[in-house]
Structure 1
Amino acid sequence: MGYDRLPPFQHSELTPKNNSKRLLFISVVAFFTIIIVSAVCAGLVVRLRDGGGAATPIPRKPTQAISRTCGKTRFRKLCVNSLLQFPGSLTAGEQDLVHMSFNVTLQRFNKALYTTTSISYIQMDPRVRSAYDDCLELLEDSVDALSHSLSSVVSNGKVGSTQDVMTWLSAALTNQDTCTEGFDGLSGAVKDQVAAKLADLSELVSNCLSIFAAISGDDLGGVPTQNRRLLASGENIDEQHFPKWLRREERALLDTPVSAIRPDLVVSKRRKRHPATGSGFIARDITFENWAGPAKHQAVALRIGADHAVVYRCNIIGYQDTLYVHSNRQFYRECDIYGTVDFIFGNAAVVFQNCSIYARKPMLFQKNTITAQNRKDPNQNTGISIHACRILPTPDLAAANGSFQTYLGRPWKLYSRAVFMLSYMSDHIHPRGWLEWNATSPVDTLYYGEYKNYGPGGAIGQRVRWPGYRLITSDIEAAKFTVAQFIYGSSWLPSTGVTFLAGLEV
């Protein structure tokens, strides 16, 4: 069949009678077309409002189950609205709503990752590009963390470790804060677009934390978690005290004397620090040093965001912001750490054990602060625990004869949490012990604790009188910040072959 041009339209004369019939026919067709289109549009609206589920209008008021579930959260309105949009939420019970809250949050993160990736073609200056790339990486990490959390919260199953879920959710929330903070001091279209795409993500994760923490605390069996088999003591260790999963070349490296190892490491110009992410990271007998002096402000020597991370017999050297304990569960043993301002900072659940922590001589008019913990949400299972360590000055600081004040820490975020336990403190520690972040920062929501520290800097007579400061006298309370209870290290540290103390004392 050929496709030729159509011939000219042949006009025909229409009688008034034929014209009336044609107009009547067109009117009837148009009337029914309007009815059909209206019905289809109404159906689409109902379905869209119900998230694609059954075509029933969403009531203005949430169900009792949704109200009770969202009543546990810090962002109730967002919780209600997000659950109402999820298919099946109107008939769901409270246990199912926990799963749904995780699911809707993961969906929002996947969408944010997709839309944020879509603007990668835009021309950016180096600082904006660096912040943007970091944001993408952090979003991917958050999607992984939320996926693990969702797969662990199941409708039926045995009760496993809720600490895994709490850790992954806490890390996802920390990732969003880090992404946002990366654009501080910057401006422009990219920052605005990223901010718009990430809107409400932190609040959604916070709601998941609140819901899961409340139910886990009240009734652990209420929301079963998938039972994950963790590495057990002795079971996965061979006769040479190596983990059985360690490859031959990795065993050879660990067996080689440190003096015989010739490192071959290149750090890119953009990455002037050593970041470690993933799960099961181990560093042993390594020096991490940032050569930037005290005048260079933030100069991270090592950043770790890996879960079940171990740093053993390492030197971590810098000035301001030396060690970034970013997120997840971490353990440091027999390490020497040097710095000035906020030189152990971040939002991991981390224990330092048998380490030497050295304050260095800072710049003129600066104050040394050992910790700057940035817990943002009261349900995050994060904090810094310094257990059986030595808090010391470097020789140049000691020679300054008290010209520079050194504090145990200051609160970076609202729910900052740090404890010092059974540690020796030299006389360079200021009698107040702790320092405000600024003149207006609240000191009633933080948790700063000290337990049986000793030495001239451990005297507590002139310590701060903040509502959030605690002189811990209960062994039970102190035990909450040990390896066994704070990072649940007894279940995963034995497989690393690293020495650790599970409880308070031998």
Structure 2
Amino acid sequence: MERSAKVMGAVVSTILIVGVVIGVVAMVRHGNSDDKGGGQGVGGGGGDSGSSTSTSTKTANAICATTTHKEACTTSLESVANNPNASIQDYLSAALNATMSELEKAIEVTSKVKVDKADDPHNDQMGMDDCKEFLDTAVEQLQASISSVGESQLHTLEDRVQEFISWLTGVYIYQATCIDQLEKPEYKTPVQDGMLNASQLTENAIYIFSELTNLTSSLNLNFSSIADAATRSAATLSTSRRLLNNAERVGENGYPSWFTSTDRKLLQDAKQDPGVEAVPIQPNAVVALDGSGQFNSINDAIGSIPPKNTERFVIYVKAGIYNEVVLIKKIPNVFIFGDGQGKTIISGDLSVALKGVKTSNSATVAVDSDGFMIKSLTIRNTAGPDGHQAVALRIAGQNAVVFDCSIEGYQDTLYYHRGRQFYKNCVISGTVDFIFGNGRAIIQDSMIVVRKPNPNQSNMVTADGGLLPNGEHGLVLQNCRITAEPLLEDAKAQHKSYLGRPWKAYAVTIYMQNDIGDFVAPEGYSVFTNVGEGSLNQNTAIYGEYLNIGPGSISDRRDVNNFKNWHLLSPQEAEGYTVGAFIQGGSWLINTGVPYNVGL
């Protein structure tokens, strides 16, 4: 994990927002008093043009009052601020298009930064290549947001607010990851400076969507609720989060529209061992080392997926050890399943310290696609503790399911990079920050195994990388067993082990209903210190615990001096971090065949 300077943002004062909005509402009502049919225009169609223009400008100001970078927001809305008939979609489109313009400028700046390959000890050339790819993906995410706003009517936006927040959080994550890839200031600084405007406008857009319900309801528009209030106070989860019911965002038969009957049958058969007698579902591709399949390698099977394929593509990997680095890039809806943990094994050894790659490139299995599913196999990075950052599984994608898998490594084992992800019945092992990322993930009913690190090293189970208070991110461990491997158990006096530390400023990590071993330090959490500089991430990070058991769960000695936002959750707060509320599992996991607990 490349350690970058923390990304800080300010929480907007609700009093300021309400005050500005009340003023705008008064202007809107006054300007529309004689209007007979102004439609959905924010400024209305009545009154004289000067009054209407003033009202639309005030509306833009009200929208920008919800953001962190207000001046940048005001400039981005200039194209609609003087339009008295502008709709809420017009304002949203203007904000997103301005962000796109700045992101394209950032890409242009990045393309002009040249790395001296003869003097590249940190492999910044690889970092620059990664940076360009991440920014290209950010553009695609943003284009999807722009298209969806343009196509949506106001009433359909209501159910898609959290989707937009998720997309935009991904855009922000890719920008931040781009910067994280670079080490040398002469390369990092110009890229960071060139991306500043794009980052600020992306952050603004996230704030605008987060506050959209408050704005539209105050402006008397038909927009009644928000899907997910991501902003939390230091001590409490917002009670305004909307819990999706089972009927939302599903197809005709009660299943998610993107989830086919084949998907359901595959996961319903997850308890079976398809390698014993017969594969329960006919896969699109079979991989086998003994030649009994269509392919000898997993990458060859992935390469056989037709271009622009959007249907579920199923790859069955028979038992064996596959020494390959698997990359699934911009191929949605890939499903990989094996013959079971310890039978089908995907193994790699890439690492930052020993192989000179960047953290993102060290993954044995790297997924940059939505709708990814994997079950019944082992993913392993064998670099060992000397490899430092060495990822086994990295997922950057929405609606990912990892079921009945063993994910093995030391430092940075599991990287939940972007998007909503659900892990069930897994074994995840490692040492330093071994469950980390910027996405939003829940790990349920799994075994978390802490291993023995190198001498003078401590263990941190988690390292969340929440970048913004309003972004879609965070990690929840629910009903898991956190235990030490025998080698660490024998040496736990020499190695302190913590439940986590905040990688970024707005880390959110919740432990609920887990069994925590006695090897965990009583203070629970460790501060994060960047190389060469101190970090104050602990001041803004949120850590919560709820009904954990075991000697490591005793909380009376937790480090509340450094972690002022740590607290024991109430049942109401804990409910906000469940599958139903936190990753909207009721809308995309329902009836898939994945066993999961939607609540506490």
Q: TM-score, normalised by structure 1?
A: 0.78
Tell whether 2:267 aligns with 1:233. no
Percent identical: 32
Q: C-alpha separation between the residues in 1 aligned to 2:575 and 2:225?
A: 26
Following superposition of structure 1 onto structure 2, how do residues 53-132 of structure 1 map, counting pairs within 5 Å?
Answer: 63-84=57-78, 87-91=79-83, 93=86, 95=88, 96-113=90-107, 116-117=110-111, 119=112, 124=117, 127-132=123-128
Cα pair 1:173 1:205 within 8 Å, conserved = yes
Is 336-345 or 396-405 further displaced after alignment? Answer: 396-405
Tell whether 2:554 aligns with 1:446. no
Equivalent residue number for residue 133 of structure 1? 129
Is 262-271 or 169-178 further displaced after alignment? Answer: 262-271
Q: C-alpha separation between the residues in 1 aligned to 2:153 and 2:369?
A: 28
Cα pair 2:541 2:565 within 8 Å, conserved = yes
Tell whether 2:493 aligns with 1:493. no
The letter of the residue matching 1:409 is G
1:164 deviation in Å?
Answer: 0.9
Equivalent residue number for residue 377 of structure 1? 468
Q: C-alpha separation between the residues in 1 aligned to 2:487 and 2:250?
A: 46
Tell whether 2:376 aligns with 1:320. no
Following superposition of structure 1 onto structure 2, how do residues 258-277 of structure 1 map, counting pairs within 5 Å?
Answer: 260=319, 263=322, 265-266=324-325, 271-273=361-363, 274-277=365-368
- Residue aligned with 1:358, SS: strand
1:308 deviation in Å?
Answer: 0.6
- Residue aligned with 1:380, SS: coil
- Residue aligned with 1:249, SS: coil
Residues 261, 470 of structure 1: CA spacing in aligned structure 2 closer, same or farther, 3 A cutoff?
same
Is 340-349 or 124-133 further displaced after alignment? Answer: 124-133
Is 364-373 or 293-302 further displaced after alignment? Answer: 293-302
1:317 deviation in Å?
Answer: 1.2
**1:194 aligns with one of 191, 194, 216:** 191
Following superposition of structure 1 onto structure 2, how do residues 405-416 of structure 1 map, counting pairs within 5 Å?
Answer: 405-416=496-507
Following superposition of structure 1 onto structure 2, how do residues 271-420 of structure 1 map, counting pairs within 5 Å?
Answer: 271-273=361-363, 274-420=365-511
Q: C-alpha separation between the residues in 2 aligned to 1:239 and 1:440?
A: 44
Q: C-alpha separation between the residues in 1 aligned to 2:368 and 2:180?
A: 19
1:447 deviation in Å?
Answer: 1.1
Cα pair 2:248 2:587 within 8 Å, conserved = no
Q: C-alpha separation between the residues in 2 aligned to 1:122 and 1:447?
A: 38
1:349 deviation in Å?
Answer: 0.7
Cα pair 2:286 2:318 within 8 Å, conserved = no
1:257 deviation in Å?
Answer: 8.8
Cα pair 2:474 2:509 within 8 Å, conserved = yes
Residues 63, 130 of structure 1: CA spacing in aligned structure 2 closer, same or farther, 3 A cutoff?
same
Equivalent residue number for residue 178 of structure 1? 177
Q: C-alpha separation between the residues in 2 aligned to 1:175 and 1:440?
A: 22
Cα pair 2:155 2:223 within 8 Å, conserved = no
1:247 deviation in Å?
Answer: 8.9
Q: C-alpha separation between the residues in 1 aligned to 2:263 and 2:527?
A: 51
Q: C-alpha separation between the residues in 2 aligned to 1:421 and 1:325?
A: 19
Following superposition of structure 1 onto structure 2, how do residues 29-40 of structure 1 map, counting pairs within 5 Å?
Answer: none
The letter of the residue matching 1:169 is L
**2:145 aligns with one of 124, 140, 149:** 149
Q: C-alpha separation between the residues in 2 aligned to 1:495 and 1:260?
A: 29
Cα pair 1:215 1:223 within 8 Å, conserved = no
Q: C-alpha separation between the residues in 1 aligned to 2:314 and 2:159?
A: 36
Residues 252, 241 of structure 1: CA spacing in aligned structure 2 closer, same or farther, 3 A cutoff?
farther
- Residue aligned with 1:463, SS: coil
Structure 2 residue runs of 5 or longer lacking an equivalent are 1-52, 227-246, 269-279, 288-312, 327-349
Q: Which structure has the larger Rg over C-alpha atoms?
A: 1
Residues 394, 83 of structure 1: CA spacing in aligned structure 2 closer, same or farther, 3 A cutoff?
same
Residues 200, 278 of structure 1: CA spacing in aligned structure 2 closer, same or farther, 3 A cutoff?
same
1:442 deviation in Å?
Answer: 4.5
Residues 453, 252 of structure 1: CA spacing in aligned structure 2 closer, same or farther, 3 A cutoff?
same
1:196-254 deviation line (CA, Å, top 9, x unaligned): 432321111100011110113565744999x994454388425972489x994348789
Cα pair 1:157 1:224 within 8 Å, conserved = no
Cα pair 2:445 2:480 within 8 Å, conserved = yes
The letter of the residue matching 2:166 is T
The letter of the residue matching 1:241 is K
Tell whether 2:566 aligns with 1:469. yes
- Residue aligned with 2:77, SS: helix
Tell whether 2:155 aligns with 1:162. no
1:35-66 deviation line (CA, Å, top 9, x unaligned): xxxxxxxxxxxxxxxxxxxxxxxx9xx93222
Residues 432, 272 of structure 1: CA spacing in aligned structure 2 closer, same or farther, 3 A cutoff?
closer
Q: C-alpha separation between the residues in 2 aligned to 1:435 and 1:240?
A: 41
CA RMSD of aligned residues (A): 3.5
1:404 deviation in Å?
Answer: 1.3
Q: C-alpha separation between the residues in 2 aligned to 1:128 and 1:241?
A: 45
- Residue aligned with 1:145, SS: helix
Equivalent residue number for residue 41 of structure 1? none
Structure 1 residue runs of 5 or longer lacking an equivalent are 1-58
